[in-house]
Structure 1
Amino acid sequence: MKSKSLAGGRKEKIFPVAALLLVSIILSGACTRNVYVPVLMPAPVDIGAHIQTVAVVDRTTPGEGAGSKQGESQSARQSSLHREASQKAVEGLVRTLEVSPKYTAVTRTAERLTTPAEKGSWPPPLSWTEIESLAERYDSDVVLVLETFDTDFMITDGGIMSASTGTPRSVSNAGDGSRSRDRGGSDLSGSRVRAGGMAGIKLGFRVYDPVNRSIADEFMFNHYARWEAQGNPLQMVVGGIIDHRMAVIDASYESGAIYGERISPLWITLERDFFTKGGRNTDFNTGVRRATVNDWEGARQAWNISADDPKRKTAGRSAYNLALMHEIDGDLDLALEWARYSYSDYRIRRARDYAQRLEVRIRERQIAGEQFR
């Protein structure tokens, strides 16, 4: 099968920005090089192709009906942390939505609605009258509400390390204000103290679609982030290094971003490779040099010629490389043809796995296309 006999396929025109992104290359081995290709992945949850504008609302302010445990026993410091952390979760969500090509406008509203529910529990859905009012006020297709939010932090481990050796040391303290010492009686004032902890975030979002008067998505989940620090002296750890506040804030931002990824098609990079050794074929080697400097069109022209080489390895590797060229160009159907040809006619085993990955990409492209209007 000659290279010129392969029919042209359909290019991935729905997301032309991919053609503008630089494809980077690094040396990966003796006969191949890695290529990182930008790919638009579909959202795990499709909230509707008609949804392009979003208004984000925080509904986690404790209300009068939230119960005494939440409203009365919570200290002012805890309330401040809860408020700051919930806002960070909203920020992480908004930033993720903003980088998705699906959404044309994401409005982070100043609305802070009260909730009648305990922290970590679902409140009743907002009324459609209120949702329609919010959607009209912010000119949005949907109203995305942070409905429930709770935080936790616990110390998981810690210890004191020798300043000279870095080895753990046991601690004792006389309790009379004297310096802490290890079991051998040595002063620990010059040692470094290590501590570890875990920040936990529990939150839930609802996506209200006022047009269809339906909840497009409702999801509650937990996110945990490990935290570690060390310092000197011990008082710094107790008073400052164990800053669980920052650990909770960072984990909150991450949790909001995680939900944003759930409902957003997003660009990622996939790792691919191409062959760099194809015998003494001049055209094959020319294609390698052109690909190395991101001259993909020039590389494709050269490999189209070397694909007719009488040596099976050279022809098969050229076909494999041409599959990659067409994937970079967005023509996944033609890329799949070349990958299958490389394996079926020349037994390039790497091409079999590549063809399977391309089949997955074609299905994902179709799904992503259905998530846009």
Structure 2
Amino acid sequence: MKNQSLLLLALVALISWSCGTSSTYLEVLQPSQIVLPDDIKVVALIDRSKPEKGFANFLEGMVSGEDFGQDREGRRLAMQNLTTTLTRTPTLQVKGTGLEYNGLKNGKQMLPPMNWNEVQSICSKYGADAMIALESFDSSSDISYSQSSYKSKQKDGTEVIKYTHTARRNVRVYMGWRVYDAKKRVVVDENTVSQYDEDSATGDTQDKARTNLRSQLTAVRDLAAKAGDAYGKRIAPVWVNVSRTYYTTAKGADKNAMEEAHRLTQANKWEDAAKIWHDLLSSARDPKTKGKAAHNLALAMERNGNLKEAEDWAGKAYTQYGNKTSQSYVYVIQQRISDQERLDYQLKKVKP
């Protein structure tokens, strides 16, 4: 797997080099979907979705084809990724409690909200203003099969019909969350979510095709982890890494200048690189180079947080210099400007 990852990175680098582009990452504070009350600054996490023990639940798992411990692992990964995501927000401090409570037998449904005296007791113990609870968790899957035929020649020249079997597994994870405001005794968010994924694999037989599928346990773990991350982003602004592409080469007399600017970016000297791109707007002989330089200037402005200037440069790269790639970049910057307006409002809500 490690060798495959290195090969993929090398392939991406080769494609970027051949296209005369490179990629860089920006750390961006992404606004949340909802705004929690101002006085919630510390949250305690609990798991209230633990299934009851008993033969009935064991039998249900056998009938549904669940891997041993897959829901337990899914719950753990959902809580773990929620915690990890919330460590990347400037608005909340997270307190893990390790507390587990039994949920309903039907993991797709939530119990009524927890008793407020108990909520306040937990929050008081962990110094929290609110409590986030995983209220329900369930996973399910189904497998379907298909086959196709093809002709194959034997060594003696005769043709035989062979079959390729395809197995497709649909995996679903269901989760419910609540945020309890301990002081106001109000559930400030209640959210149910389902994550879905499909795997497919082939083999000479139906059994081999099924064996070649990613394990059901792995699929549930991956979906649960994504759901935990998604809920963290729902309730709090979170720092995320975003990728941006910029130009590194040009033709003719402009080649050396563009390559020098690229080396400066690799040394994290973006302001010096921006000076070269500015010069190329007047000195470049190839109109395409001017479009590349304007596009790169938009990225330099975005890196500095000057989003309106970034939008202007990306717009010029497209409208004045005909760089088609910059059209989509304009939309990206416009979305960032909209997000920033929401973020400014959210951060003002939590500033002392």
Check 1:370–1:55 CA distance in 2 against 1; reply closer, same or farther (3 A cut): same
Q: 1:144 deviation in Å?
A: 0.7
From 288, 293, 306, the counterpart of 2:280? 306
Match of 1:101 in 2: 89
Q: 1:247 deviation in Å?
A: 4.2
TM-score normalised according to structure 2 size = 0.71
Secondary structure of 2:253's match? coil
**In structure 1, C-alpha distance between the alignment counterparts of 2:233 and 2:181, rounded to whole Å:** 19
1:199 aligned onto 2:182: no
Secondary structure of 1:148's match? strand
Larger Rg: 1
Match of 2:141 in 1: 153
Match of 1:224 in 2: 196
1:255 aligned onto 2:227: yes
2:126 maps to amino acid:
Y
Match of 1:276 in 2: 249
Secondary structure of 1:307's match? helix
Considering Cα pairs closer than 8 Å and 6+ residues apart, tell me whether 1 or 2 has the greater RCO. 1
Structure 1: give runs of 5+ residues left out of the alignment: 1-23, 64-69, 170-192
Q: 1:166 deviation in Å?
A: 12
**In structure 2, C-alpha distance between the alignment counterparts of 1:261 and 1:345, rounded to whole Å:** 38
Q: 1:251 deviation in Å?
A: 3.6
Match of 1:33 in 2: 21
From 318, 341, 363, the counterpart of 2:338? 363
Match of 1:324 in 2: 299
Structure 2: give runs of 5+ residues left out of the alignment: 1-11, 62-67, 155-159
From 158, 163, 166, the counterpart of 1:168? 163
Moved more, 234-243 or 338-347: 234-243
Secondary structure of 2:282's match? coil
Q: 1:323 deviation in Å?
A: 2.0
From 283, 291, 295, the counterpart of 2:269? 295
Secondary structure of 1:330's match? coil
Q: 1:124 deviation in Å?
A: 1.4
Q: 1:131 deviation in Å?
A: 1.9
Secondary structure of 1:225's match? strand
1:111 aligned onto 2:99: yes
From 112, 121, 124, the counterpart of 1:124? 112
Q: 1:365 deviation in Å?
A: 2.2
TM-score normalised according to structure 1 size = 0.67
Contact kept in structure 2, 1:122 and 1:204, CA below 8 Å: yes
**In structure 1, C-alpha distance between the alignment counterparts of 2:318 and 2:130, rounded to whole Å:** 47
Match of 2:309 in 1: 334
**In structure 2, C-alpha distance between the alignment counterparts of 1:309 and 1:243, rounded to whole Å:** 58
Alignment root-mean-square deviation, CA: 4.2
Contact kept in structure 1, 2:201 and 2:212, CA below 8 Å: no
Match of 2:56 in 1: 73
1:360 maps to amino acid:
Q
Q: 1:91 deviation in Å?
A: 2.5
1:157 maps to amino acid:
Y
Q: 1:138 deviation in Å?
A: 1.6
Contact kept in structure 2, 1:56 and 1:107, CA below 8 Å: yes
Check 1:135–1:346 CA distance in 2 against 1; reply closer, same or farther (3 A cut): same
Contact kept in structure 2, 1:205 and 1:218, CA below 8 Å: yes
Check 1:212–1:279 CA distance in 2 against 1; reply closer, same or farther (3 A cut): farther
**In structure 2, C-alpha distance between the alignment counterparts of 1:283 and 1:130, rounded to whole Å:** 66
Secondary structure of 1:338's match? helix
Match of 1:213 in 2: 185
1:142 maps to amino acid:
A
Contact kept in structure 1, 2:104 and 2:110, CA below 8 Å: no
Moved more, 340-349 or 357-366: 340-349
- Bigger helix fraction: 2
**In structure 2, C-alpha distance between the alignment counterparts of 1:251 and 1:166, rounded to whole Å:** 39
1:101 maps to amino acid:
T
Q: How many residues align?
A: 319
Contact kept in structure 2, 1:25 and 1:33, CA below 8 Å: no
Contact kept in structure 2, 1:323 and 1:339, CA below 8 Å: yes
Secondary structure of 2:89's match? coil
From 113, 124, 129, the counterpart of 1:141? 129
Contact kept in structure 1, 2:253 and 2:285, CA below 8 Å: no
Q: 1:299 deviation in Å?
A: 0.9
2:245 maps to amino acid:
R
**In structure 2, C-alpha distance between the alignment counterparts of 1:75 and 1:266, rounded to whole Å:** 41
Check 1:95–1:310 CA distance in 2 against 1; reply closer, same or farther (3 A cut): closer
Check 1:240–1:120 CA distance in 2 against 1; reply closer, same or farther (3 A cut): same
